[in-house]
A and B are shown apart, each in its own frame.
Chain A
Amino acid sequence: MEGSSKGGVLSHLSLLEAKARSRKTQLHQIKELRDKVEALRIQRDQLRAEIETHKILQKVRASLDKKCTKGGEEEELQVKEGEKMNEDSEHSQLLRLMARHTQLKDLLHAHHIIGGYNITKTIQGRRVCASLATAYEGVYLETYNVEFDLKPTVRIRRHDVPPFIPVDSLAEQSNMQTDIRAFLDTLSKYLNGYAGRKQQLKLVKERHKSVEVMESNVLCSILVMLLTVPGERVTVLCTLKYTDHTRCLPTGVYVQCEADKELPDSPQWKNNCSLLMETPVHKALTIMRDRWIIA
């Protein structure tokens, strides 16, 4: 008996405890739900605010863009519109700043996309860093960086341009002290020439499995290929030389054929050589393949 009454008290106590705990969890759950409602409300209000601001900003930005494209003549009209906006909204100055902010961001982004040098100043204007973008036929490739000391004289401090591009002698030849851009323009031509030739070589390897690349160098200024004439099983050794390193087109094309010494002088192969002189190599090979000249 003693034992059962003891058990009754204990079980009653544990029942009370369980009830209290469940009430606690229920309250906790409700609090969580309330918090979630509050968080969602804030998110919704933020989104509404952003969308609303976006709408107004779009209008301000559009008039700003119009002003920038049309120039001085329209300015007077814009000032009048601006005054009107001033009456409409007490926040107009803030809005104009925000619109200009988005416009500046877009313009800076555009400079970057069209291959601008992305100049950044460091250490109180004593140094600048320039990036040189490369691309070939719309595909953006490597970007290289050059850092200059501006004082006491303009000098290249460091760069990540490949060693086979003669950065220092290009710097010596250009008038870097007065015109950094002239030097960057020249260097950019060399880098884009290199990037283009390298990309062409990659495309030749990808697209022309039957063409065997026998030799090429790091600068991609020489390319020796073994071409196969279909049917006759004759192979032709074709050498492209790129002596102008700013270009993606060869300055010389040479053809050799062991089996048929006359072949290089045939009108068809003379024609092929001039095709290779005027057309990027991966495209010239495609044309030659389509004409059944090579396999």
Chain B
Amino acid sequence: METMNEENMEEARVLETQIERLQAEVEALQRQQQENHKDITLQLGGQIQDATSHFYGLTQEEGEEKVMFRLKEEVEELEEDLKWQTKMNGIFLNSCTTKTLQNSGSKLVQQFSVSGQCSELAFQVEFLLTEVKNNQQLERTVSDLNVAIEAGDQQDLKDLSIFMSGVEDWSDLLLFFRTLRTFSDRCDDRDRTFEHFQDKYPDVVSFLGDRRSEVMALSHPELPGCGLLVHWSVKVSSWGEVTPKINLLTKIPEKALQLFPSEALGGADEAFESLLRILGPEAALESVIRAISLSEES
């Protein structure tokens, strides 16, 4: 009986040292894992967890095919979801990387770097997201916001860059995206309208710059010296309000004006403004184009 007890004691001692060693190992690995998770947000749950377990032969009962099939299914669902969000938000995201700067139970600070495309505008935003748990309520705050946008046509962005420096001061991430989207929607409206008129009246309509030009030139094919310029700009206030502004400018040689003083042309801008108010941009522009092309049909 006594010897048996000693054997047991001996085994217990061995097991206890093993436990101590393993606990230290596990703790070290957990620390390493926490450190790792700062660089990549790897949600080790669901299918990903199964895949990981399978990957290291921890679960034998399921074949790779089965694990892969389920993971594939989940990835396809996510792809579909992302497609929907992209379509509905009008914003295409290229990449999003996060880095955890602080994680102390109730407070989580993460650094985000997101890049993407909104119509023709490419953007890159960086910010800190702080989440604080307070009486079961999650308070989320954005700070240290940094935004940059890039577009083919630089003059488009004069207003937008003033607004952007304000947005950085207020860390208003949501306002930035609301304004960016409205701005590019209004630019798209203009481009669509301009393109439509170019297709419909190729003899009258021409553009000075590239496709995303703010100015559409109108002139009669037989009177190339005289014409009208439609300046359609999209204004952004420093508070992010977006308003399209359309002006009509006359381009008539001084001499022609002296020889044929025309009141209709002199007041063209004012007349166009009231046309815009009554008909809206498309119909107002259409009637101007018809007038200048001396089109018979009405």
Chain B residues, CB < 8 A from A46: 53, 58
| Complex Cα spacing A102 to B23, Å | 30
**Which B residues are in CB contact (< 8 Å) with A106?**
41, 96-98
Complex alpha-carbon distance, A55 and B72, angstroms? 21
Q: Which chain A residues in 88-135 approach chain B with CB under 8 Å? A: 91, 93-94, 97-98, 100-111, 113-119, 121, 130, 133-135
B79 to chain A, nearest CB (A): 6
* B49-80 interface (Cβ within 8 A of A): 51-56, 58, 64, 67-68, 71-72, 74-75, 78-79
State in angstroms the CA–CA spacing of A57 and B71 once bound together. Answer: 15
Given A30-B8, A116-B85, A135-B142, A54-B114 contact (CB < 8 Å): no
Chain A interface helix/strand/loop/mixed: helix
Q: Which of B51, B115, B170 contacts A98 (CB 8 A)?
A: B51
Q: Is the CB of A108 within 8 A of B173?
A: no
User: Is A289 an interface residue when CB atoms closer than 8 A count as contact?
Assistant: no
Q: Mark B152-186, 1 if CB is under 8 A from A, else 0.
A: 00000000000000000011111101100110010
Q: Which residues of B contact A175 (CB under 8 A)?
A: none
Contact between chains at B173 and A57 (CB < 8 Å): no
Check A57/B42 contact, CB under 8 A, given A51-B32, A98-B51.
yes
A40 CB-CB contact with B under 8 Å: yes
Q: Which of B12-53 contact A (CB under 8 A)?
A: 12, 15-16, 18-19, 22-23, 25-26, 29-30, 32-33, 36, 39-44, 47-48, 51-53
Distance in angstroms between the alpha carbons of A106 and B97 in the assembled complex = 7
Answer whether residue B4 sits at the interface, using C-beta atoms and an 8 A cutoff. yes
The verdict on A36 contacting B19 (CB below 8 Å), with A45-B56, A118-B85, A189-B178 known, is yes
Tell yes or no: A34 within 8 A of B by CB: yes
Residues of A within 8 A of B41 (CB): 102, 105-106, 109
Which residue of A is nearest B97, CB measured?
Answer: A65
- Is B109's CB within 8 Å of the partner chain A? no
The interface residues of chain A lying within 8 Å CB-to-CB of B1 are: 19, 23
A105 to B43, CA, bound (A): 8
A50, A68, A115: which contacts B33 (Cβ < 8 A)? A50
Q: Are A107 and B96 in contact (CB under 8 A)?
A: yes
* A33 touches B (CB below 8 Å): yes
A97 touches B68 (CB 8 A): yes
Question: When A30-B11, A101-B47, A247-B239 are in contact, do A107 and B93 touch as well, CB less than 8 Å?
Answer: yes
**Other-chain residue from B75, B114, B185 in contact with A114 (beta carbon distance below 8 A):** B114
Contact status of A138 and B74, CB under 8 A, knowing A47-B33, A52-B56: no
Shortest C-beta distance, B165 to chain A (Å), equals 15
CB distance from B106 to the nearest CB of A (A): 17
A98 to B5, CA, bound (A): 52
Q: Chain A: how many interface residues by the 8 Å CB criterion? A: 77
Q: Does B227 contact A (CB under 8 A)?
A: no
| A180-188, A215-223, A264-272: which lies at the interface | A180-188
Instruction: Specify which chain B residues have a CB less than 8 angstroms from the CB of A115 in the assembled complex.
Output: 173-174, 177-178
Contacts of A45 in B (CB 8 A): 56, 58
Residues of B within 8 A of A43 (CB): 26
Verify B175–A192 contact, CB threshold 8 A: yes
Using Cβ atoms and an 8 Å threshold, which residues of chain A touch B93? Answer: 107, 110-111
A50 surroundings in chain B (CB, below 8 A):
33, 44, 52
Expressed in whole angstroms, the Cα–Cα distance for A267 and B110 within the complex equals 47
Q: How far is the CA of A54 from the CA of B32 in the complex (A)?
A: 11
A118 shortest CB reach to chain B, Å: 7
Complexed CA–CA distance, A105 and B170 (Å): 28
Complex: A208 Cα to B23 Cα, angstroms: 55
Give the chain A neighbours of B140 by CB distance below 8 A.
139-140
> Which bucket holds chain B's interface residue count?
35 or more
In the complex, which of the residues A34, A53, A118, A188 contacts B15, with contact meaning CB atoms closer than 8 Å? Answer: A34
Name the A residues within 8 Å of B58 (CB-CB). 42, 45-46, 49
Render B73-108 as a binary contact track against A, CB cut-off 8 A, 1 for contact.
Answer: 011001101101110111101111110000000000
A47 neighbours in B (Cβ, 8 Å): 26, 29-30, 33
Our pick among B26, B48, B91 for the contact of A116 (Cβ within 8 Å) is: B91
Q: Nearest residue in A to B14 (C-beta to C-beta)? A: A33
Q: Is B204 an interface residue (CB 8 A)?
A: no
Q: Which residue of A lies closest to B93 (CB)?
A: A107
Closest residue to B56 on the A side, CB-wise? A49
Query: Bound state CA distance, A112 and B67, in angstroms?
Result: 29
What are 21 A-B contacts with C-beta separation under 8 Å? A30-B11, A33-B12, A33-B19, A40-B19, A44-B22, A45-B58, A47-B30, A47-B33, A54-B36, A94-B71, A98-B48, A98-B52, A106-B97, A110-B96, A111-B82, A119-B85, A135-B174, A138-B142, A138-B171, A180-B88, A189-B178
- B contacts, CB < 8 Å to A: 1, 4-5, 8, 11-12, 15-16, 18-19, 22-23, 25-26, 29-30, 32-33, 36, 39-44, 47-48, 51-56, 58, 64, 67-68, 71-72, 74-75, 78-79, 81-82, 84-86, 88-91, 93-98, 112, 114-115, 125, 129, 139-143, 145, 170-175, 177-178, 181-182, 185, 239, 241
Nearest 7 interchain pairs by C-beta: A138-B171, A49-B56, A110-B96, A40-B22, A33-B15, A115-B174, A104-B78
Starting from the known contacts A37-B15, A111-B93, A119-B85, 14 additional A-B residue pairs (CB-CB under 8 Å) come to A26-B5, A29-B12, A40-B23, A41-B22, A49-B52, A54-B36, A98-B52, A100-B75, A101-B78, A104-B75, A104-B82, A113-B114, A134-B174, A136-B172
